[in-house]
Structure 1
Amino acid sequence: MRVTLAEEIMLLSLDDESGQAKDRWTVGWIVAGGLLLELALAERVRVDGNRVEVVDTSSTGDALLDDRLEAIAAWAGSARAATVAAWLRKDQLKSIEATLAGLCARGIVTEERHRALGLFPVRRFPEADGTVERELRERLNRVVLEDAEPDLRTAGLIGLLHGARLHRLAFPGEPRKRVEPRMAAVAEGQWAAEAVQDTIRATQVAIMAATAAASAAAAAAAVS
């Protein structure tokens, strides 16, 4: 079963039993980044000087990607600063919802709703079919732990995870010092066209800037 990069990232972030997302704030950014990268790989968008440009509005054949492509096209045509960072900031929550809906529709996860303490609505997405995630983790293990040559999409996924410092989502049982050098090498390798590499770099910069700003705000709040 073929899933998008964004859906793969979402699967890695979801606890298989509880269905709760780990690192949800940062994951929102790279889920949106994964959709943007997928569209770049499909030659529907490109990043030029950090600006997002739609170059082809024809269908990709994937409902999730087509929906985000339509949204990007409408936004980029009217936004004064149609940068990667601005898009990720705007779309992260919608991207998560759209990605979870896609996983549910495929029967990979199920949605459960209840109220914590009888008051607060809680949604969980426990895994229903573990085949996709198992194959995904095996693919990541081959590239990072066994030094296999990555295909284009796997290299892109590793680049996003490395840029967001989310190594533990992909390799929860491995020491960071074992996986980080190889992930960095894959992320920095010349495995894709320059336009695709530009999308990865711009996404990484946007995520790092947002994470730094959030950390600074949290530190300031703690001091005050």
Structure 2
Amino acid sequence: MAVTLPEEMMLLSLDDESGQAKDGLMLGLPLSGAIVLELAFAGRVTLADGQVRVVDTRPTGVELLDGRLAALAAWTEGRRRTKIGDWLMKDQRTSVRAAEESLCRRGLVTEEKHKVLGLIPVRRYPEVDGSVERELRERLTDAVLRGEEADDRTAALIALLQAGLLHRIAFPGVPRREVEPRMKAFTEGHGVAESIRAAVGAMYAAVAAAMVATAAGAV
């Protein structure tokens, strides 16, 4: 079974040594967006005019996606307005936890629990199998830094990372001022398949807008 976009994003975020997420406060919105985008690719939801609609509730066979599909279907039922950004804001924390659990089930990371100062519970996810992340980072490097062709799923992941301002987890050794314009240029210039272009564009816009709204609310 192929690793999904949210799982790839989660792998990028986890520190290989500590098992803790880097840029954890910024991860939730784009990762939740990655789940919805996967559901759109699978024909379970549609994304148009800033709205998300569930059009098929059949399971995809991927536990991570099916759990969020059921929750999204329950949330949209009976609503007149189903703004993508509203769902991302609501579901971001749950989506991150679901992605962590999915990586554990796959055996790519292991969960460790402990308490800080004997009171605050903390979970860590040290990597077990690093081959998936290494291949992923090579694909990102080829596409963004070397200017090579990339498949549509890699292009979609880069768009979400760009929208979520997650340049540091994608390219930890490259200064942001160097990698950000390259990611932007790739996102704008990559000709993804017509069948997914609208979905990627809608999710990029929704994540970027939600990031701005979150930042404004924190001021």
The residue type equivalent to 1:65 in the other structure is L
Structure 1 residue 151 corresponds to structure 2 residue 151: yes
Give the letter aligned to residue 104 of structure 1.
Answer: C
Q: Give 3-state SS (helix, strand or coil) of 2:123's partner.
A: strand
Equivalent pair of 1:85/1:202 in contact (CA under 8 Å): no
Alignment of 1:2-151 (within 5 A): 2-151=2-151
Residue 55 of structure 1, CA deviation? 2.3
2:112 and 2:123 in contact (8 A); partners too: yes
Contact 2:48/2:202 (8 A) holds in 1: no
Q: Is 1:11–1:133's contact at 8 Å kept on the other side of the alignment? A: yes
- Contact 1:17/1:126, CA 8 A, preserved across alignment: yes
What amino acid is aligned across from residue 44 of structure 1 in structure 2? Answer: R
Post-superposition CA distance 1:175-205 (Å, at most 9, x none) = 22332233213322331336x3333333333
Q: CA RMSD in A?
A: 1.8
Q: CA deviation at 1:58?
A: 2.5
Query: Aligned residue pairs: how many?
Result: 218
The structural deviation recorded for 1:104 is 0.5
TM-score, normalising length: structure 1: 0.89
Q: CA 1:52–1:215 in 2, change beyond 3 Å: closer, same or farther?
A: closer
2: CA distance, partners of 1:61 / 1:109: 21
Contact 1:32 1:95 in 2 (8 A): yes
**Which letter maps to 2:87?**
W
Q: Distance in 2 between matches of 1:212 and 1:55?
A: 29
Secondary structure of 2:114's match? strand
CA distance in structure 1 between the aligned counterparts of 2:141 and 2:191, rounded to whole angstroms: 20
Q: How far apart, in 2, do the equivalents of 1:31 and 1:123 lie?
A: 18
What is the CA deviation profile of residues 58-96 of structure 1, one whole-angstrom value per residue up to 9, with x for unaligned ones? 232212112222222222123332111011011111111
Name the CA distance, whole Å, in 2 between partners of 1:48 and 1:140. 28
4+ residue runs of structure 1 moved beyond 4 angstroms? none
Deviates more, 1:65-74 or 1:105-114: 65-74
1:15-35 deviation line (CA, Å, top 9, x unaligned): 111111111122111110001
Identity across aligned pairs (percent)?
Answer: 54
Please list every run of 5 or more consecutive structure 2 residues that lacks an aligned counterpart in the other structure: none
Q: Distance in 2 between matches of 1:20 and 1:26?
A: 14
Please say if residues 26 and 164 of structure 1, whose CA atoms lie closer than 8 Å, have aligned partners that are also in contact.
Answer: yes
Structure 1 partner of 2:193: 192
Q: Summarize deviations over 1:95-123 as a string: whole Å, max 9, x none.
A: 11111110001111111111111111111
**Matched residues in 1 for 2:218 and 2:54: separation?**
36
Give structure 1 stretches of 5+ with no counterpart. 220-224
* TM-score, normalisation: structure 2: 0.91
Q: Which residue of 2 aligns with 1:206?
A: 206
